[in-house]
Amino acid sequence: MSSLDRPSNEPPLLNEQAYNPEAPSSIENLEKPQKKPGLNRFWWLIPLVGVVFAIGGISFIRLRDKYSQEITVAEPAPLTVRTVTAERDSIQAWISSEGTVQAVRFKHLAFDVDGDVTYLADRDGRTLRAGDAVRQGELLAQIDDRTLQADINQAEAAVNEAQRQRGVAAANIAQMESQVVAARAQVAQAEAQVAQAQAAQNLAQTELQRYQQLFEQGVISASDLDNRRSTVQDAATQVAVAQAQVAAAQAQVSTAQAQVSSAREQLQATESQIATARARLNQAEVALEGTRLYAPFDGIVAYLNIRENEYYSLQAVSSQLGNYQELLNRVPIVIVDPNQFEVVADLSAGMSDRVRPGSTALVTEARSPQAGQSGVSLTELAEIQGSIYAVNPAVSPGNRAIQATARIASGSANLQHGASVTLWIAVAEQADTVVVPLNAIAFRARVPYVFAVNPETNTVEQRQVELGIEGFDRREILSGVQVGEQLVTEGQSGLVNGARVQVIPERFTSHRRTILDGSK
């Protein structure tokens, strides 16, 4: 029976289907999938496999998301950092203190007496002003000196009177000395007369003895012997008279010598009077000089605080001796030599062993920005340069400080006498060393580190360093950094050793300029 004759509910025979060449083409097309009996036998596996693939796909997607999150945590995106290159340069460590500018040569000119200002120097039809040049010895100002001029006249008269009295005393001395000479001549004459009288007395005595013998022999008469006796007595009287004359002449000598001594004492008294009168004259002349102000050297008027016809008081100046800046506004005239200035500053006593004459010194305005802030370097702020001239080793008892003086070598045109400035002193200096900016150094647990960038791997190495001299915008590295290495200056907070970074290069410039020649 053919396939067409079989009941419809009876399945066709496979063999017949396979080998029946007479089957219609449409039925042949419908039964082509049945050529593989394995698929029809395991058709139920297809939904199962679909479910398995669905579950596997979902699991794969979940695992992929999980592992991609883990990868994101383990390998973060590179951190953006800014770097600089370590350089080799010189570096200085600085200390600073407020100081006062003063000219090396300056003079405060003040009157020594109170009075009205009667004169100020003339400059092309106008009175003297601050900033005018002056010449050494020039009379700059004067106050009323009439009273002192009268004192000088009186002192000169006293000197003249004393000198006149000295002349009288000297004449008296000469007269007394001549009297002494005359008295001594009388003494000599009287002594000669004494000698002559004594000789006559001796002769008369000898003749008396001879006559006595002749009288005894009866050769002469008694009257002749009496005559010889009278001669002896006369001779003795002459001797006594001559000796009295000697005594009188010696008394005259003593009197004359006493008069000479008195005259000399009078002369000394007149000399003392002259000295006293001259002292008073000198005092009056000095006081007169105190009414006049002269230029001590060629210079410039830095301060002028007086005017003609104004009253000047010593108290107005002396009351400001403790405040120098206010004193400059009270003292009549201040003359400065503008060719050289210096800065005087008080330093902590502990700096005495660090500051030495010859140390580099820079000067900035007292209110200028701090060096190292906002990229401003000290050498940009300090156009005034010099060196330490002297260091006073004595410690002031009030503020326990030492005083340092810096002489200015360049930039003095920007200075004014009495101005307040900041004095910077190099207390340590190192040439030809490795330097990096301050923000390239990070401290962790008080240990200094740098983050050096490896340009091949774009990773950073956290490296401990040994620090040296600290400047304002940079620091010396003694070990741990080589010249040319790239160091992170911005972005260290999120860095760890080996972290990947994206570098924004930045050239480190220390703004250094040579201190000695002043070039930028």
pLDDT digits (tens, 9 = 90+) for 76-92: 788 889 999 999 998 88
Q: What was the pLDDT predicted at 316?
A: 78
Distance CA 75, CA 192 (A): 145
Distance CA 362, CA 471 (A): 14
In angstroms, how far is the first alpha carbon of the chain from the final one? Answer: 120
Name the range with the highest mean pLDDT among 16-30, 221-235, 257-271, 457-471: 457-471
pLDDT digits (tens, 9 = 90+) for 107-156: 999 998 899 999 999 988 899 998 899 999 999 999 998 888 888 888 88
Distance CA 384, CA 92 (A): 17
Q: What was the pLDDT predicted at 230?
A: 80
Higher confidence at residue 344 or residue 250? 344
Query: What mean pLDDT value characterizes the chain?
Result: 78
Q: What was the pLDDT predicted at 51?
A: 66
107-144+296-336 sits in which CATH class? mainly beta
147-290 sits in which CATH class? mainly alpha
Across residues 20-37, what is the average pLDDT? 43
Say if residues 361 and 423 touch (Cβ distance below 8 Å): yes
pTM for the full model? Answer: 0.52
The three-state DSSP-derived secondary structure of 259-286 is HHHHHHHHHHHHHHHHHHHHHHHHHHHH
Per-residue pLDDT band at 378 (split at 50, 70, 90): low
In this predicted structure, the answer to whether residue 375 has a pLDDT above a threshold of 60 is: no
3-state secondary structure of 109: strand
In this predicted structure, the answer to whether residue 26 has a pLDDT above a threshold of 50 is: no
Distance CA 456, CA 300 (A): 66
Q: What was the pLDDT predicted at 224?
A: 75
Across residues 227-239, what is the average pLDDT? 78
Name the range with the highest mean pLDDT among 49-58, 152-161, 193-202, 312-321: 152-161
> Which of 404, 462, 456, 467 lies closest to 433, judged by CA?
467
- The pair of structure tokens assigned to 152 is 């000088």
Which residues are registered as beta bridge partners of 348?
A: 401
Across residues 312-326, what is the average pLDDT? 76
Distance CA 307, CA 121 (A): 11
The domain ranges of the chain are: 82-92+340-504, 107-144+296-336, 147-290
Distance CA 275, CA 254 (A): 31
Higher confidence at residue 415 or residue 407? 407
CA distances from 117 to 152, 327, 368 (A): 20, 19, 40
In this predicted structure, the answer to whether residue 520 has a pLDDT above a threshold of 90 is: no
Q: What was the pLDDT predicted at 128?
A: 92
CATH classification code of 82-92+340-504: 2.40.420.20
In this predicted structure, the answer to whether residue 3 has a pLDDT above a threshold of 50 is: no
How wide is the angle at C-alpha 25 spanned by C-alphas 21 and 31, nearest 5°? Answer: 85
Q: What was the pLDDT predicted at 376?
A: 53
In this predicted structure, the answer to whether residue 409 has a pLDDT above a threshold of 60 is: yes
Q: Cα–chain-centroid distance for residue 397? A: 18
Question: Tokens 């399945």 map to which residue?
Answer: 11
Across residues 467-487, what is the average pLDDT? 90
Number of H helices, E strands in the chain: 9, 24
